[in-house]
């Protein structure tokens, strides 16, 4: 086969915002969480990642560019995603260009990946979620991987936990699973994007600076040092997951909003309970929370204890 051809696929994936948070892993390598989580996937035209993946026999190694700058692909997470997708690659044929790639050719071929986030990267807006979900999805399309979204979510999870939820639109649950190999730790859709049209999410970017503590290292410290996390994962989250699923199915905004606020506050409390403590909020975030609480009280929203 000639080596002057190139095949390309571009995909766009929105980020997701957790309303019941994932924080803490029971297996760091496979990225298996200590609790289920639920998120809302944003509309693709807002906060999203656009990724183009290309393959050509003239590429001598796999490479990735993030927001225009080349970054290392050597991390275990990127490598896991590439390995898992390559292992499932199918035959690809483009008759118009006279290109034929058979399943086993993919082991020898290299890919180039160019990814852009249209929002701040590593600033607490789940760039790894959109980024890794988009990477897995676009590679799967390029290599003609014949797997459904739940299987792809299990691969994206190995790139970044929260990424497994961005494979679906609407309301999504990441089931923590029990299997040691992570086979049952996948995302499922609770309700699609049309289910709750009136729900509007406002994102207030209070800082675009990179976080001082990445989610990965922050949650590692939390698992090692926080007693509150044990209580949260075992006692609090399982009950909240059931209530949140009900609130979403019934479009019950009051319960949805209370659960979301309570869970976010407990997540930040767990961060504070970590040694050394992790601070993700700043004074502006605290003021916004205060205003929202006052607004809710002025509207007469009943204060329910979740
Ligand atoms: N488009 C992308 N393609 C590939 N990798 C990405 C992309 N965007 C982000 N990442 C990876 O994710 C890392 C940021 O992940 P991190 O979890 O620390 O922050 P975040 O996801 O933006 O915030 P949070 O997890 O608090 O919501 C980046 O340093 C980069 O390695
Ligand atoms: C606070 C969170 O956004 C944390 C997300 O953590 P990541 O998914 O970025 O962490 P890794 O699995 O280590 O890549 C909560 C959530 O999205 O559920």
Question: Is the CB of residue 123 below 6 angstroms from any atom belonging to ligand 1?
Answer: yes
Residue 25 to residue 30: CA distance in whole angstroms: 9
Kindly list the domain boundaries of the chain, sorted by start residue. 7-299
State the average pLDDT for the chain.
94
Question: Is the CB of residue 146 below 6 angstroms from any atom belonging to ligand 1?
Answer: no
Of the candidates 2, 6, 33, 7, which has an alpha carbon nearest to the alpha carbon of residue 20? 33
> Is 123:210 a contact under the CB 8 Å cutoff?
yes
Question: Is the CB of residue 73 below 6 angstroms from any atom belonging to ligand 1?
Answer: no
Q: Tell me the per-residue pLDDT of 124-134, one tens digit each, with 9 for 90 and over.
A: 788 999 999 99
Structure confidence at residue 19 (pLDDT): 98
**Assembly ipTM:** 0.96
Tell me which ligand sits closest to the C-alpha of residue 165. 2
CATH number for 7-299 (one of 3.40.50.150, 3.30.2350.10, 3.30.230.10, 3.20.20.70): it is: 3.30.230.10
Q: Tell me the per-residue pLDDT of 205-253, one tens digit each, with 9 for 90 and over.
A: 888 888 899 999 999 999 999 999 999 999 999 999 999 999 999 999 9
> Is 159:77 a contact under the CB 8 Å cutoff?
yes
Residue 6 to residue 157: CA distance in whole angstroms: 29
Give pTM, 2 decimals: 0.94
Arithmetic mean of pLDDT, 175-184: 97
Tell me which ligand sits closest to the C-alpha of residue 20. 2
The first and second tokens of residue 152, run together, are: 């792809």
Structure confidence at residue 17 (pLDDT): 96
Q: Tell me the per-residue pLDDT of 15-24, one tens digit each, with 9 for 90 and over.
A: 999 999 999 9
Q: Tell me the per-residue pLDDT of 150-168, one tens digit each, with 9 for 90 and over.
A: 999 999 999 999 999 999 9
Which atom of ligand 1 is found nearest the CA of 51? 1
The first and second tokens of residue 64, run together, are: 């990735």
Which atom of ligand 1 is found nearest the CA of 125? 27
Tell me which ligand sits closest to the C-alpha of residue 264. 2
Question: Is the CB of residue 166 below 6 angstroms from any atom belonging to ligand 2?
Answer: no
- Which residues have CB under 8 Å from 5's CB, separation 6+? 56, 57, 97, 99
Q: Is the pLDDT of residue 196 over 90?
A: yes
Structure confidence at residue 210 (pLDDT): 84
Arithmetic mean of pLDDT, 52-59: 96
190: left (phi over 0), alpha (psi -120 to 50) or beta: alpha
């Amino acid at each position: 086969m000639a080596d002057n051809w190139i095949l390309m696929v571009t995909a766009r994936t929105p980020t997701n915002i957790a309303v019941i948070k994932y924080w803490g892993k029971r297996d760091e390598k496979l990225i298996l969480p200590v609790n289920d989580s639920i998120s809302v996937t944003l509309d693709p035209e807002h906060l999203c990642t656009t990724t183009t993946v290309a393959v050509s026999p003239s590429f001598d190694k796999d490479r990735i560019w993030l927001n225009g700058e080349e970054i290392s692909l050597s991390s275990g997470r990127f490598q896991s995603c590439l390995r898992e997708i390559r292992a499932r690659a199918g035959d690809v044929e483009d008759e118009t260009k006279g290109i034929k790639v058979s399943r086993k050719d993919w082991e020898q071929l290299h890919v180039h990946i160019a990814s852009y986030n249209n929002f701040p990267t590593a600033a607490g807006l789940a760039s790894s979620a959109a980024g890794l979900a988009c990477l897995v999805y676009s590679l799967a399309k390029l290599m003609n991987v014949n797997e459904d979204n739940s299987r792809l979510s299990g691969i994206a999870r190995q790139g970044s936990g929260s990424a497994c939820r961005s494979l679906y639109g609407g309301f999504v649950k990441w089931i923590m699973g029990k299997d040691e190999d992570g086979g049952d730790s996948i995302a499922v859709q609770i309700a699609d994007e049309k289910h709750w049209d009136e729900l509007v999410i406002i994102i207030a970017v209070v800082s675009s600076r990179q976080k001082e503590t990445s989610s990965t290292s922050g949650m590692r410290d939390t698992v090692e040092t926080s007693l509150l996390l044990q209580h949260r994962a075992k006692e609090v989250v399982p009950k909240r997951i059931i209530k949140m699923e009900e609130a979403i199915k019934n479009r019950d905004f009051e319960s949805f909003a209370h659960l979301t606020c309570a869970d976010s506050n407990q997540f930040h409390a767990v961060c504070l309970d970590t040694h050394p403590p992790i601070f993700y909020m700043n004074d502006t975030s605290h003021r916004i929370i205060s205003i929202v609480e006052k607004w809710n009280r002025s509207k007469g929203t009943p204060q329910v204890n979740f």
